[in-house]
Structures are given as structure tokens and as C-alpha cells.
Structure 1
Amino acid sequence: MPTQRLSVVVTRRLPDVVETRMKELFDVTLRDDDTPMTRDELAQAMRRADVLVPTITDTIDASLMAGAGERLKLIANFGAGVDHIDVQSARQRGILVSNTPGVLTEDTADMAMALMLAVTRKIPQGLQEMQAGTWRGWSPLANLGTRIGGKRLGILGMGRIGQAVARRAQAFGMQIHYHNRRRLRPEVEEKLEATWWESLDQMVARMDVISINCPHTPSTFHLLNARRLKLLKPTAVVINTSRGEVIDENALTRGLRAGEIAGAGLDVFERGNEINPRLRELPNVVLLPHMGSATWEGRVEMGEKVIINIKTFADGHRPPDQVLPSML
């Protein structure tokens, strides 16, 4: 008699190759259109599924967790960040949570460098000029930006992505500085030619570029708050490809408008897709719609990790990418 397959509900459209493989392995319910589930749809899915596969657009809080059915035993998140999932409540209900770490490291680091170059070299302004047909030829003083070679880069969060950004910045001739909960091993520091700052205040006051590469946790919420943003040099640039909640967005907007901060490149925002209209109007800001991880290869690898986590769980073992409250 065939073994009963796990009931899996996927909350968003995934690459065809991932959905097809899931269909082969599990009793999977796929999404027809690429829109987020409503809260009611999420609640229904959590009542009937053995495994839920959510994304960052699904907020799974303690209230939703309390209404989960007895069948739900695994939340296999499609993505590395899990701040949209109440991991503690899940654990209390005996529901495992897994994620997809390490897959998007290189893609996100690429985007951090792209934003850095876009802001400092005024690429959007040049693009706009060309698209509008207003360019009248080369001029010695037109669209002057600043070079990043020789500049000091301060990285907030020196995990996988932070180190990948450091390696790229090294190749551009930048001086690497970082602030992290724990100092890197001496051999890693030496390889990256990186300087560690125990004091974040001291570091940000001296940097030309700040790159945010730490996760959003209670301890990193508004890590760049109004007071700390005031410490930045007026020539400094802020890059964020991590989580919007790490920056006090209103304070950043005020600093940019007042000329106290030279520019910003943001791929993530404090209120998700609700962008501060004043931020959108600023000429010294480059805004992207959370594209840091948006490569075909990255999305497929994320899906493969989700499948491995579910398959391992189905085989009676702990998912290799299980997330525990103590890890957050």
C-alpha cells in the first residue's frame, strides 16, 4: 500500500521547475495567481496542511499559529529571513520552522554593489536624461559623481552576505570596516583586510559608505536610528539590501532632504511596499522593489532547499535548515 504523501500548501507562485518537482513528491496545493494569500486564506491553509510553504509576504503571527490545525507540523519558508514568522509560537505548538540560508548570498552582495555604484555615480540621473532625450552631449561638469575606490566601507552585519560584499568592495579598492555581534576570526579579518569596530557609533561617524547586511531582529530594529544617522558624514551614502526595519526611514528621509546624508540606495523598506512618498521624490536616492535576491538561479535554489527540508522532515529527520528561537 503506498505511503500517504504530505499535504503541502504553497502561498505564492514559484518557478515552474520547483512547483513541478513538488507536485511529483507531495500532495501539493499550488497558487493560481501570483498574489499574496489573505489572512483568512492563510488561516485555512494552516488548518488543513501538514506543511506550509510561505514567503516574506505572509505574516504568520501568534494568533494565526494558535488557529493552526493539528496536522501542521512544518513551516518551510521560501526565503532566508523569518522575521515574518513567530518562531517562538511555532515551537510552543510543536511546529518546526525551516528557511533557505546561504542561497542568495552572492546575488544580494551583487545588488549591494550595484546600488553603491548607482548612487555614487548617478546612474539613474544619466538614464533618465537619456530616456527623456534631453542629453546634449558630453560636458566636463555634467553628472559628476564620486569614485568608490579608496573610500571606507562600513558593513553592519558581517555574516555570509556582509563578507561577500566585503570581497567585492575589496576588488574595487575600498577599505573594509565592520561592526558585528562577534568579531571575525583573525584569518578571515586578514583575508578581507577588515577592521572591526566594537562601537557602531564610532564606526558610522567615519565611513564614506554604510552597507546594511544584518537581519531584522528585536536588537537590530532601528539600529540606524535618528541619533546614529546624525553621526554620519554629510558625504556618506547608505545602502540597504537587508531589512527595511533596521533603519529609521523617516529619520533617513529627513537627513537626505536636509543634505546631512549624501545619498541612499534602498532595496527594502520599513513598511514593506508602502514607500514614504517624500523618499520617492528625492534625487539622491535609488529605490528598488526588493530585487536583491531576484535571479532565476537563486529562486530555483531556494525552491530546492525548501524541497530538501520537506523531504527530510517526511523521512522522519530534522530539516537541515531548521530555525530555532535561540538563533534569532
Structure 2
Amino acid sequence: MSKPVIWIPRRLSPATLDRARRDYEVIVKPDDTPGTAAEIIDMSARVDGMIPCHSEQFSADVVAQLDPRLRIVANHSVGTDHCDLPALRARGIAVTNTPDVLADATAELAFMLMLGAARRAVEGDRIVRSGAWDSWSPAFLVGKQVTGARLGIVGMGGVGRAMARKARGFDMQVHYHNRNRLPPAQEGAAIYHQRVEDLLAAVDFVSLHCPATPDTLGLMNAERIALMPRGSILVNAARGALVDEGALLAAIESGHLAGAGLDCFVTEPGGNPDFAAHENIVMMPHVGSATVATRDAMGFRALDNLDAFFRGEAPRDLL
């Protein structure tokens, strides 16, 4: 019996590719660039399944042109805002994602961004690296202390809960806003705020961990940023669309916010060049899950979903 054929448009981890080639006939896009609409449509006639990343766009227009041979899109990502899920379901194409496995890695990066913004890491690195460090003073590079501070988490899914666990190691008081209050066993000692506006006014740091949906686009606009105490810090390791970048820039320039830590932007790749002039904005290029262990786990989770589907079972992460 012949093996199912799958398409992998991006360079996944070596362990993932080894396992995929063991169990499937695999077509890998050789140049590791985002799969275009034309490539997705063309490959749909040649394969039974795909493992795309967030970089491949399955819009309604693309989905309408997919060949009936394609039966499953097993995303190598948690977010699925690059997929028109109703359109894919209407075509009878199964869609899965990779939840749970990247929570700790993403929370680690969010914490790094928070610490970097609080302790002026970009400015300090530049001073030492450029050879400009020629003096010292008690007033030199004074930052904001994280230990014992109040952290507000917006979105208490897997990543938000991982962030809360790490924050407790810094003796932070954790506050959170979520669509629904967590059960006591998951909530721990965190303080729940039914309204995000109430949370923003009560904390020193805000870390965003919610998905980009019609309800959360532009969540952090000028009005909500103004509710944050003067000298507070905003961290976004979720989706760029959650933040009004013009409002954030204005709050940085006015001094209302002491800094920001950003792993995602409205425009990706590329980011926002206006942020580059501000050393109190710590930036990374959307690599929250970029550890060896997590990339392997994401790839294996996508393959687990494919394996179940081709055995005739419901994949664990069917959307």
C-alpha cells in the first residue's frame, strides 16, 4: 500500500523531517520561503496532506481553488488566523494545529523581553559593545525592578499560565484577564479581572497572550494604554495585531510607558522601523517558540495529527 504524500513548505527540524520521510512520501520546498497562493493551489493536486506554517495563507480565494485530493492541513503553529477555517471545513478539509507544546518556550521569550525592557538591556548592550562605557555612577542605567512587581497577563491559555508560573519565581503578584475565569486549580493565587481595563490600571507590567480575533484586534489602543500606570511596561509575544503601534509609539515618546518588549508586529516580516530609534523597546523577530526542543515538539505534534487522520481516526487537535 502506497504511503500518503505530504508537502512541507518550510524547513522544519531535522528530527521532524526524518520522521516524516520514514512514514510518508514527502515533498519539501527547497528554498525555505513562504508558500505562495499559486504554490499551495498547485501542490494541492499532488499531495494528500500539508504541514504549513503561519506563513502560508489559506484565504477563502485560495481554498476555493484547492484540488479535491488535499484532505488535511496539519498546521505547524498554534495560531490559525492564516487559515479561513469555515472555507476549509466547507471543502471537507481537516485542519489541525499544535497547541500546548510551545507554551514554555514562548513564555521564556516574553519574560526575556520583559526583563530586557525593565533593565534597559538594549541601551546597556550598545554602550558596552560600542566601547562607550567609560564611567559609572549610582544614576547609571537605573531600570525598573521586576521582582515583587505586579504582572498583568491578558489571555490565560497555555502560554499565559506558563508566564504566570515563571512570574511567581520572581515573587511577582499575578493578575489576569481571560474570557472566562480559570478553575481554582489553574488560577493559583492569581487575581482575576473581568474587565481588561481594570487589570491595566492595577499592574506594573502587562503581557499579552491572547489570540488575534475580531474582538482583540487593536486591543491595546491609545485609551487602554493610557490606563496603564505611568512608567509601566507592555510586552507582546502573541500577535502584532493586538497592539495599535502608533499609540504604543506615542506612549513611549511621551514617557508614559517606560518601555516595551515585542516579539510580533503588525507587519511581518520587517517589523516597525519607527521603533528602532527607541532603545527602551526590546524587539525580537517573532521567534517565541524557537528552541530545538519546541521545534521538534511542534513538528511531532503535526505528524501525530497526520498519523491519526490517515489511520481513519479523529486527530487530537482537530479544529
After TM superposition, is the score higher than 0.5? yes
Is the Cα–Cα contact under 8 Å of residues 74 and 96 in structure 1 kept in the other structure? yes
Write out aligned runs for 1:184-263 (5 A): 184-189=182-187, 191=188, 193-263=189-259
1:74 CA displacement: 0.3
Write out aligned runs for 1:240-319 (5 A): 240-319=236-315
Aligned counterparts of 1:302 and 1:283: Cα–Cα separation in 2: 33
The total of aligned residue pairs comes to: 319
2:38 corresponds to which of 35, 40, 59: 40
Correspondence 1:132 to 2:130? yes
Is the Cα–Cα contact under 8 Å of residues 123 and 280 in structure 2 kept in the other structure? no
Unaligned runs of 5+ in 2: none
Aligned residue type for 1:177: H
Write out aligned runs for 1:161-200 (5 A): 161-189=159-187, 191=188, 193-200=189-196
1:92 corresponds to which of 90, 93, 97: 90
Q: TM-score, normalised by structure 2?
A: 0.97
Is the Cα–Cα contact under 8 Å of residues 264 and 271 in structure 2 kept in the other structure? no
Task: For residue 292 of structure 1, give the secondary structure of its aligned residue in structure 2.
Answer: coil
Aligned counterparts of 1:147 and 1:296: Cα–Cα separation in 2: 31
Task: For residue 306 of structure 1, give the secondary structure of its aligned residue in structure 2.
Answer: helix
Is the Cα–Cα contact under 8 Å of residues 19 and 30 in structure 1 kept in the other structure? no
Q: TM-score, normalised by structure 1?
A: 0.94
Matched residue, 2:318: 322
Matched residue, 1:76: 74
Aligned counterparts of 2:202 and 2:72: Cα–Cα separation in 1: 45
In percent, how many aligned pairs have the same letter?
38
Aligned residue type for 2:22: E
Is the Cα–Cα contact under 8 Å of residues 149 and 174 in structure 1 kept in the other structure? yes
Runs of 4+ residues deviating >6 angstroms = none
1:263 CA displacement: 0.8
Is the Cα–Cα contact under 8 Å of residues 41 and 67 in structure 2 kept in the other structure? no
Aligned counterparts of 1:164 and 1:118: Cα–Cα separation in 2: 19
1:206 CA displacement: 2.1
The Cα offsets for residues 88-120 of structure 1, whole Å up to 9 and x where unpaired, read as: 110011001001111111101111111111000
Matched residue, 1:160: 158
The Cα offsets for residues 163-215 of structure 1, whole Å up to 9 and x where unpaired, read as: 111111111011110000000112332x3x11000111111022110000111
1:234 CA displacement: 1.8
Task: For residue 231 of structure 2, give the secondary structure of its aligned residue in structure 1.
Answer: coil
2:144 corresponds to which of 143, 146, 156: 146
Matched residue, 1:101: 99
Task: For residue 261 of structure 2, give the secondary structure of its aligned residue in structure 1.
Answer: strand
Comparing 37-46 with 155-164, greater Cα deviation is found at 37-46
Is the Cα–Cα contact under 8 Å of residues 81 and 99 in structure 1 kept in the other structure? yes
Unaligned runs of 5+ in 1: 324-328
Task: For residue 262 of structure 1, give the secondary structure of its aligned residue in structure 2.
Answer: strand
Task: For residue 45 of structure 2, give the secondary structure of its aligned residue in structure 1.
Answer: helix
Aligned counterparts of 1:89 and 1:159: Cα–Cα separation in 2: 26
